[in-house]
A and B are shown apart, each in its own frame.
Chain A
């Protein structure tokens, strides 16, 4: 039955064979252009330093080499530290973000919650206006005194007002108020209702917001740029950024190739640099095809407004 329906829709809304081939090629080209830079970086990370310096970056280097990754394993202290910071921030941040967002959204989704209008408005207002980078910076550094702490990497993204509104709609649609009422009559506490009845029903929504949060934390360099000076607290993305600006500075100071090549011995080499990029992309590139379906669902999850 399902099969039959699928086939008939394919036939109705699809191109003729000729147009189909043309458009397939066109879309495929763009799709490849999205993967190509990553492939390029991977190839560079496996190129030998010699061929990089003489021939530049190439899709097919004269000489392959694992030297970049070997060098990386030797200088692993800094890298491992950055990886550790990023992992810690991502795990802790995602847990905090998902908890705070879900509980807030659940409360304002309950029609029996007396202050729900107030707190809904309290959340909506934050979406209308941006306090701005300077004001946030002053509050973070001067009022909260969080400069150079791990919290500076976690707290700025700990709650997402937009996700709260999305989740509120999700709870309203997914969790029937009568189930909650029934549980209450049976004597369940609010905590128990939330953990044992609401959460299991809300797993898809919570998976989606956790995903967004985890991605945000893993990819974050902006908060590190503003608040982190201690080298032990540098996350992976910020480390990559620092290395890049070092290289950039050196290549601007050195006039031409020869000096550049000599200066290369004491900074992370080209291949090493790209190997680090590969390592920081790998978790996302390997896992996103699997979580993509949650992501796509997340785009439509809050689609219906109440």
Chain B
């Protein structure tokens, strides 16, 4: 529409032609910018496709928790579409059984145990190692402490088996050698909380103590000099210089671990007790429960409900803990 007075700042409604032209220009701009960014876009694409298939689609596949899932021979979409909705039935099933309580309790309690043991022991070792006189020896210690961290849970379970095997294990031969009665370790649930806490902590200490060690070594040495001149003894120096310098890292690690309190290390709880049924009451955690539901009992509905329960609570915990970190120390927040 021709405008007789172009200087008047009135808002004219777009004609269809103008609208089309603008859209075309936008589209052109979009394609120009794509063309300009093509090489970098190509770099991103493999990773982005992976994320779509291994994250975004699975996230939506979580709707199976609200369905009575059946595998359909016609593929994924058909399986999802043809499985009937059942609402919250899977969740009702899950939470009406005793299992939900047991696995939640086990997961949270074990993780709380790991968090506190890890914190105390690895800070202790880090502080001690930062004060040892022989640097080369310290390196040797660190290298050996790191070994378990690099091994898989399958290997670790063989290690544990060498000590706990009912017939040949070292512990049983020591017990019977002293006139005691052999213990069937893999059928004795009362010992497993300690065994699992011990093995899990033992595997991770090397890694965690190196983290704290690096932090302790970056403390300005003049602080120690000043403390020494002020007459502080070794213990006072550790208490008033080293430990306060480690507090930010300790806070960060703990809060992040609390964010993950609903996730258990599947390998530890599945491999080390060798999935022994008589231990389930003390070794069953969310992850092993979901796995057993998926494969052994084939109850996809219930295990997907448990998986969604785990993911949602984990998400809430992560957001909350990150929120707290951001309040305490914005630099160490995850996002």
A residues adjacent to B (C-beta < 8 A): 6, 8-10, 12-17, 19-20, 23-24, 26-28, 30-35, 37-38, 40-41, 44, 52-53, 55-59, 99-101, 103-104, 106-108, 110, 113-115, 119, 122-139, 142-144, 155-156, 158-159, 161, 164, 189-191, 194, 215, 218-222, 226, 237-238, 240-241, 244-245, 248, 251, 257, 260, 270, 273-274, 277, 280-281, 284-285, 288-289, 292, 295-296, 299-300, 305
Contact B150 A284 (CB under 8 A): yes
What would be 23 A-B contacts, judged by CB atoms less than 8 Å apart? A6-B135, A27-B128, A27-B132, A30-B125, A34-B202, A35-B144, A41-B158, A56-B165, A104-B44, A123-B47, A126-B56, A129-B59, A133-B291, A134-B64, A139-B57, A142-B71, A142-B75, A143-B57, A220-B152, A222-B266, A237-B154, A241-B154, A281-B155
Residues of A within 8 A of B186 (CB): 248
Decide yes or no whether B147 CB sits under 8 A from chain A. Answer: yes
Decide yes or no whether B25 CB sits under 8 A from chain A. Answer: no
Residues of A within 8 A of B155 (CB): 237, 240, 277, 280-281
Interface residues of B in 168-218 (CB under 8 A from A): 168-170, 172-173, 186, 202, 205-206, 210-211, 214
Contact B154 A284 (CB under 8 A): no
Which residue of B151, B168, B275, B300 contacts A56 across the interface (Cβ within 8 Å)? Answer: B168
B residues adjacent to A (C-beta < 8 A): 33, 36-37, 39-41, 43-44, 46-48, 50-51, 53-59, 61-62, 64-65, 69, 71, 75-76, 79, 125, 128-135, 137, 140-141, 143-148, 150-155, 157-159, 161-163, 165-170, 172-173, 186, 202, 205-206, 210-211, 214, 219, 221, 224-225, 228, 234, 237, 263, 266-267, 271, 274-275, 287, 290-291, 294-295, 300, 303-304, 307-308, 310-311, 314-315, 318-319, 331, 334-335
Which residue of B36, B147, B308, B315 contacts A34 across the interface (Cβ within 8 Å)? Answer: B147
Q: How many A-B contacts are there with CB distance less than 8 Å?
A: 285
Residues of B within 8 A of A101 (CB): 47
Residues of B within 8 A of A35 (CB): 144, 147
Contact A132 B166 (CB under 8 A): no
Given the interface contacts A40-B159, A134-B294, A219-B152, does A299 sit within 8 Å of B128 by beta carbon? Answer: no
Nearest-CB residue, chain A, relative to B38 = A190
Residues of B within 8 A of A222 (CB): 266-267
Report Cα–Cα, A15/B138, bound state, in Å.
13
Residues of A within 8 A of B157 (CB): 244
Contact B158 A240 (CB under 8 A): yes
Given the interface contacts A132-B290, A222-B267, does A13 sit within 8 Å of B147 by beta carbon? Answer: no
Which residue of B51, B224, B319 contacts A122 across the interface (Cβ within 8 Å)? Answer: B51
Contact B64 A56 (CB under 8 A): no
Contact B41 A15 (CB under 8 A): no
Residues of A within 8 A of B62 (CB): 131-132, 135
Contact B76 A142 (CB under 8 A): yes
Residues of B within 8 A of A296 (CB): 210, 214
Given the interface contacts A30-B145, A143-B75, A194-B43, does A299 sit within 8 Å of B210 by beta carbon? Answer: yes
Report Cα–Cα, A270/B169, bound state, in Å.
12
Given the interface contacts A13-B221, A37-B162, A56-B167, does A131 sit within 8 Å of B58 by beta carbon? Answer: yes
Residues of B within 8 A of A107 (CB): 40-41, 43-44
Report Cα–Cα, A13/B169, bound state, in Å.
43
Report Cα–Cα, A35/B325, bound state, in Å.
37
Nearest-CB residue, chain B, relative to A138 = B61
Interface contacts beyond A23-B128, A57-B170, A218-B152: sample of 7 additional A-B pairs, CB < 8 Å, sorted by A? A30-B205, A134-B290, A134-B304, A134-B307, A158-B50, A274-B162, A285-B147
